Amino acid sequence: MTRIFPGVIAMAAIVVASNILVQHLFGQWLTWGAFTYPLAFLVTDVMNRVYGVQAARRVVVAGFVVGVVCSLIGTQISGEFGPLVTLRIAIGSGVAFLAAQMLDVAIFNRLRGGAWWRAPLASTLIGSSVDTILFFSIAFSATFIFIEPLNDISWAGEVLPLLGVGPAAPLWVSLALADWLVKLTLAVLALVPFRAIVTRISPDTA
């Protein structure tokens, strides 16, 4: 457990920071949390490369537990429009995080024998895509209204031009697309710190 402690701390810090920063808007389609949350994939991939798949899964579970605690706290804090974290957001966040991170771990492990960049890039791109689809669908799509029927999310279904310029689509689709594009960009940029961190911690596995 001692060897993965830094990974646990890093994951916990990212989850806590993202839960706080998601309350603050960045432009029209994003929150500041969109720029910190994808770093969770970087932590998972570093742990996977250096310490193996089981260590990476333990770090993911630790992050999930921290996320659940953050969600529980958020449900008790009221903002301008009610609780900062609704049941749908809490469920969507938890399901998306656990599913996407565990998928990331599995894909990375499957590809770990190839070129150094292939496993982290492929696992993060796929994991990030799954994360975005699950979270925004569960939290805001009308399909999942049964989860919390008394929660009014009609604002998320307002039909507007996609990202302000494209075809008409529900607002939550624009939010999801903007979030996904940030994740894809950071997945590529994260290859630089991934290589540097792995080389520093364990040169033989770089």
Q: Please report, for the domain that includes residue 61, its CATH number.
A: 1.10.1760
Terminal-to-terminal C-alpha distance of the chain? 22
Token digits of residue 142: 């009308």
Sign of CA dihedral 68, 74, 75, 76: positive
Say what the pLDDT of residue 155 is.
92
The whole-model pTM stands at 0.94
Identify the three-state secondary structure at position 2.
Answer: helix
Contact 153, 170 (CB under 8 A): no
Which residue range(s) make up the domain with 72? 2-205
- The domain tally of the chain equals 1
pLDDT digits (tens, 9 = 90+) for 116-168: 999 999 999 999 999 999 999 999 999 999 999 988 889 999 999 999 999 99
Tokens 């991170």 sit at which residue? 101
